[in-house]
Structure 1
């Protein structure tokens, strides 16, 4: 089963909790704090494995959560960092953030990696909070939560040559003749529902990977038929073999077929028309094929080379393969990859201060405080420790949360909600 698009959930490991401990040894009555930091949570990393050809495995496992870091220990010992989670993907995988639609990575080479969910840092032990004013702090942090997100993985087949054309023009038959691939072949449209790959041996020691892709129809760039499923894969090919039913066996005009398919390629991605294209005039063994080919050549001119063949009888196939291999030798070996442009941004101190770190609004009888920094601080605070609660309150006061609540009308005893928890506003 060929799977070329999946949605998965990834979460980096949480950081380990910091330890609250004190040095207790004989003859050392005032040993001081000795709680170590927690370890870092594991990252979720996607890595290319050239042995994979499909995203089928992600049909059965869609959640990937890295391990959390080890908690800190007494005697100043830090917890161990968690191991990263390596998730194998096939070459040609495009990683997209499901919420924003941003392309995070385009993975093409064996061993290439990208971190898609970072693990949280370990919480600090009470050794980190010791000061001259408070030499024995009774406070330790919880581990930072790891990043989490939904990803869409799209596979674009990595092939040297792609077969393009309307349904039932003979693409699958051609692949089966020139390689050992065994695609499904039948006398109805859309027999090929997913890409088939075959290695073609030219005969002089050269070879290339040929992809038989699902047939196109009008409106494919808008998703009609199997449009997007097909066009996604042809983006990677270095050469397009445009297969045309030169006999017009289904009542269509060969030239109009060629024009319509090129229009779909142009509408989907203008750069596809810049790709080298060889026209394969198939079904030359049928009546009217020679007359149609003559008219076709007059309309096309000399812009594209035309190779008359018959996939059934084998006529002209050898010349086509040699021409394809010769053209590949003149092209870069790297696959075509759309570069993702990231806008360069600079943040100056004056601008950073003006950035709003939180929002405050009222819902019924509750005052609701929201903000990524505040919610992260909340999750890393141990509310069973008095000193930790006081530190949490001091940080909120310093950020201006108290003042914002007062300006909104909060009074002593009013309920304030942060995340899923409720607090009482105290003047």
Structure 2
């Protein structure tokens, strides 16, 4: 334009910054990727250029997390999002807004604006990621009750197994396929001891994994209990579950009497079964190691899991957390 140096305004807008996005996947089982890397940044947007060329938007940074990951605000502890479905996405931090070039500010009375508008920085957030396993049934019991051997016997899982307490230091997941029923997931939860709800033993770190299970399976070692203390053993397990979350005791449950291959007195096993059934539980005598008695146990467990899944499907779906 006449009398205007280098012509009219032609500054393009800056690109927006990329978002940091969390995405759920069944291909990941742990949060180990976050142990050594704590800071994540998406790409920044490019500057606008002359000739009204807008800057390129920054690329989103997509971070994969396991199904069952819960996102909490690091300062308040508030739950921000809960990943329960494959492919679910949540924007953890929004990218900054690109600035506006001077070409944006042309008006009838201002033909040659000499200023532009700066962009806004992106979000910075400090988050805590917590993993709660998603399983249809959870095996609970005291250390060395044979839970790991049982999950190996009924599924494709291969947890570390040895004859001493606390062999299971991390929960194991196994997929059970019983006859023509739909496959379902069983979790082997590390052994519970008195005071677990206060963090003793492996404590709260693993009690939290039971929260999502539909059915509880109490695994008892028949070589360490008697008719006199069988009820006390279940009471102790229930006390820990109740102290952590009373709702756990409302879940359908059954009892497995494991290691029957190590007991010569068959009357003892029948007496134990009778005692436990008098307490209101259905009991199954099995040997996970020798694979004895598994079919009736699996038939009942599969039925309970199927019934609970059908209940969930019949209930209206609640939107706990809306995607951003």
Query: In the alignment, is the contact (CA less than 8 A) between 2:227 and 2:272 conserved in 1?
Result: no
Pairwise CA distance, 1:302: 6.0
Query: In the alignment, is the contact (CA less than 8 A) between 1:41 and 1:121 conserved in 2?
Result: yes
Pairwise CA RMSD: 2.9
- 1:140 aligned residue: 116
Aligned pair 1:269/2:245, yes or no? yes
Give the structure with higher Rg (CA).
1
Q: 1:251 to 1:303 in 2, by over 3 A?
A: closer
- What is the rounded CA distance, in whole Å, between the counterparts of 2:148 and 2:266 in structure 1? 20
- 1:163 aligned residue: 139
Match of 2:260, SS state, is: coil
- What is the rounded CA distance, in whole Å, between the counterparts of 1:217 and 1:251 in structure 2? 20
Aligned pair 1:36/2:1, yes or no? no
Q: 1:93 to 1:185 in 2, by over 3 A?
A: same
Match of 2:308, SS state, is: coil
Aligned pair 1:195/2:171, yes or no? yes
Which stretches in structure 1 are left out of the alignment for 5+ residues? 1-24, 343-427
Query: In the alignment, is the contact (CA less than 8 A) between 2:80 and 2:321 conserved in 1?
Result: no
Aligned pair 1:331/2:308, yes or no? yes
Query: In the alignment, is the contact (CA less than 8 A) between 1:254 and 1:292 conserved in 2?
Result: no
Where do 1:10-409 residues align within 5 Å? 29=4, 31-130=7-106, 134-204=110-180, 206-248=182-224, 253-285=229-261, 286=263, 290-291=267-268, 294=271, 297-298=274-275, 301=278, 303-332=280-309
- What is the rounded CA distance, in whole Å, between the counterparts of 2:25 and 2:159 in structure 1? 24
- 1:22 aligned residue: none
Query: In the alignment, is the contact (CA less than 8 A) between 2:231 and 2:279 conserved in 1?
Result: no
Q: 1:251 to 1:124 in 2, by over 3 A?
A: farther
- What is the rounded CA distance, in whole Å, between the counterparts of 2:228 and 2:93 in structure 1? 51
Q: 1:341 to 1:50 in 2, by over 3 A?
A: closer
Match of 1:322, SS state, is: helix
Pairwise CA distance, 1:43: 0.4
- What is the rounded CA distance, in whole Å, between the counterparts of 1:60 and 1:250 in structure 2? 48
Pairwise CA distance, 1:295: 5.7
Query: In the alignment, is the contact (CA less than 8 A) between 1:93 and 1:153 conserved in 2?
Result: yes
Which stretches in structure 2 are left out of the alignment for 5+ residues? none
Task: Give the TM-score of the pair, scaled to structure 2.
Answer: 0.87
More moved, 102-111 vs 194-203: 194-203
Match of 1:331, SS state, is: helix
Number of residues paired by the alignment? 316
Pairwise CA distance, 1:140: 2.3
| Deviation sequence 1:88-124 (CA, Å, 0-9, x none) | 1111111111122111110011110000000010112
- What is the rounded CA distance, in whole Å, between the counterparts of 1:299 and 1:211 in structure 2? 23
Q: 1:50 to 1:182 in 2, by over 3 A?
A: closer
